[in-house]
Structure 1
Amino acid sequence: MDNYNQLMAGLPDTYDKRPGLLPADMMKSLSLVLDRLNTKLETATALMDIDNLSGDQLTKFVLQRTGIIRNPATYATGFVTVTGKGTININDMFETAGGIQFRATQMAAVNGSTSVPVKCVQLGAIGNVPASQVTQIPVTLAGITAVTNTLPMVDGFDEETDESLRERYYLILQTPATSGNVYHYQLWARDVSGVGGAKVFPNSFGVNTVEVRIIDTNKLPASSGLVAAVQTYIDPDSTGLGSAVAPIGCKATILSADGKNITVSATVVKKGGYLDAVVIANISGAIRAYFRDVAFSDPYVSYARIGECVLNAEGVADYSNLKVNDNIVNVTLGDKEVPVLVGVNLV
């Protein structure tokens, strides 16, 4: 029953309640006010549940209650090999054919070929370009004739997602971190932008040592730069001197998770109009999404779940002869391993 009907029901029958008369009009006006107040109350109540929050509201809620700060986006970095005879100055520009730009972060003299450190001008994963993509010089540099990147650009991460921030919030509530316990090291690792998960192994290298294995936000093995950033934050140089967040006397060693290479092959019946390359890309995307779900959580890669990814991929009508690493069984993952898709083949 809405507010108006409740108000009318509570009005004594000694009043004439017919529509259009004063008692009914007064109750109608009052019910409109109460309706608005009820809506505000329902909205405020919903905002008390973290699962209903997103964006800035979620950021503020988590910060006020736990002190956890949403991890910001980072710039991709790497090196370019510059050819010619001249000087590279800080902020000299290089770019991909698609217009993703990188600035030199150090001055360098070039006489032949020289490696120059660079940083993407845009925040986020957009800067994680593959090798041999940074080949353009948008503004002529005297004496410089060519540029390329022999290795991929790495460690460009988008701002922490709502899902990841909410996960860290629940982690601190459900796994109390105190006095450098296992949960504390997990939280410390996740404090660093780009870290998507951590596993802690006490006494791996002897008494009073801690091994922390990390993955990035794509749930893949972490780069050397990300490992170094976490090492610096927790225990620089693994000294146990208490110069960072780790307690005195406990030597922490940060390492990347090991990648378990996975190759998938199958005979696929394609739907009309789909090319092999498109189907392979769709299957690969589905499998990578599944791998993100199992990284550092499941002890194996499921053969059946891989089949589900293949069958449900856009452009696939049916499949047969599915093999995962040339077998038809689950692939076991070690405690320090995460799955890495290295190829999908249509046979």
Structure 2
Amino acid sequence: MLEPQSRQAVLERLLADYKKLDTTGLSVHEGTFVFDTLSANAVEFEKSYAEMQLILDAAFPQTAWGEYLTRHAEAHGVFRKQATQANVILTITGTANTIVPKGSLFGTENNETFRTTAEVNLGDAGSANVLAISEQVGKALNVPANTITEIVGGMYGVNSVNNDAAAYDGYDEETDPELLDRLLLKVRRPATSGNVYHYE
């Protein structure tokens, strides 16, 4: 079993080994050439032991993290769920028959911005609904109703904008614990040949 090694423990072993090999009687006290040289090596060996522990952790899904866990999961056909943009229906009002181009930008007071997905005509009533998608990703973009009220950069013929309902379908990237749970479920309870897991 790999055990973490402190630089002091490594240095003590290096000094002991040096004393066994030395035939000249050089001093190994602190501040001598031998001591300083072996001390520098001990620092690097300490780092190496720490890195070897990380390699061991990364080799197993239960202790892997980040990209290493993602690779373990992908080897079993389980893919990390990515963060997604939020969707929202905007109500745009302004001068009758104004054309609001696709990609028009609107936002909240907190600088969460949404772009329209289609060109829309405000018609005779001077109002129309259009789907918009957040520029950023994550569940924080599922903003509450009546918060998208800013016309970013100004827009000719558009007086106001609002979202009567909250934005939806914005999700954060799947966390390591969530991905590990799905991976272990796939591996430990394989759905094959109509077995009980297949029905689950």
Q: Distance in 1 between matches of 2:194 and 2:164?
A: 41
Contact between 2:106 and 2:151, CA under 8 Å: does it hold in 1?
yes
**Aligned match of 1:166 in 180, 193, 196?**
180
Contact between 1:76 and 1:119, CA under 8 Å: does it hold in 2?
yes
For 1:20, the equivalent position in structure 2 comes to 27
- Structure 2: unaligned runs, 5 residues or longer: 29-33
Deviations 1:250-275 (A, max 9, x none): xxxxxxxxxxxxxxxxxxxxxxxxxx
Q: Distance in 2 between matches of 1:102 and 1:183?
A: 42
Quick check: 1:95 aligned with 2:107?
A: yes
3-state DSSP class of the match of 2:62? helix
Give the letter aligned to residue 177 of structure 2. Answer: E
Quick check: 1:140 aligned with 2:154?
A: yes
**Aligned match of 1:80 in 78, 84, 90?**
90
Deviation at 1:68, TM superposition (A): 1.7
Deviations 1:42-83 (A, max 9, x none): 3322322333332222222322x3132211110000211112
For 1:254, the equivalent position in structure 2 comes to none
Give the letter aligned to residue 165 of structure 1. Answer: L
Quick check: 1:45 aligned with 2:59?
A: no
Q: Name the CA shift for 1:89/1:51 in 2 (closer, same or farther; >3 Å).
A: same
**Aligned match of 1:149 in 154, 163, 174?**
163
**Aligned match of 2:78 in 68, 74, 80?**
68
Deviation at 1:162, TM superposition (A): 1.1
Give the letter aligned to residue 63 of structure 2. Answer: N
Higher relative contact order (CA 8 A, sep 6+): 2
For 1:312, the equivalent position in structure 2 comes to none
**Aligned match of 2:132 in 95, 114, 118?**
118
Q: Which has the higher strand share?
A: 1
Give the letter aligned to residue 74 of structure 1. Answer: T
For 1:296, the equivalent position in structure 2 comes to none
Give the letter aligned to residue 166 of structure 1. Answer: L
How many pairs are equivalent?
180
Contact between 2:89 and 2:165, CA under 8 Å: does it hold in 1?
yes
Normalization by structure 2: what TM-score? 0.72
Deviations 1:233-289 (A, max 9, x none): xxxxxxxxxxxxxxxxxxxxxxxxxxxxxxxxxxxxxxxxxxxxxxxxxxxxxxxxx
Contact between 1:8 and 1:17, CA under 8 Å: does it hold in 2?
no
3-state DSSP class of the match of 1:172? helix
Q: Percent identity?
A: 28
Contact between 2:109 and 2:147, CA under 8 Å: does it hold in 1?
yes
Give the letter aligned to residue 137 of structure 1. Answer: I
Contact between 1:91 and 1:104, CA under 8 Å: does it hold in 2?
yes
For 1:54, the equivalent position in structure 2 comes to 65
Deviations 1:273-324 (A, max 9, x none): xxxxxxxxxxxxxxxxxxxxxxxxxxxxxxxxxxxxxxxxxxxxxxxxxxxx
Contact between 2:83 and 2:172, CA under 8 Å: does it hold in 1?
yes
Contact between 1:46 and 1:52, CA under 8 Å: does it hold in 2?
yes
Q: Distance in 2 between matches of 1:184 and 1:91?
A: 44
Aligned CA-pair RMSD: 3.4
Deviation at 1:97, TM superposition (A): 2.0
Q: Name the CA shift for 1:80/1:168 in 2 (closer, same or farther; >3 Å).
A: same
Deviation at 1:41, TM superposition (A): 3.2
3-state DSSP class of the match of 1:134? coil
- Structure 1: unaligned runs, 5 residues or longer: 186-199, 201-347
Larger Rg over CA atoms: 2
Q: Name the CA shift for 1:36/1:120 in 2 (closer, same or farther; >3 Å).
A: closer
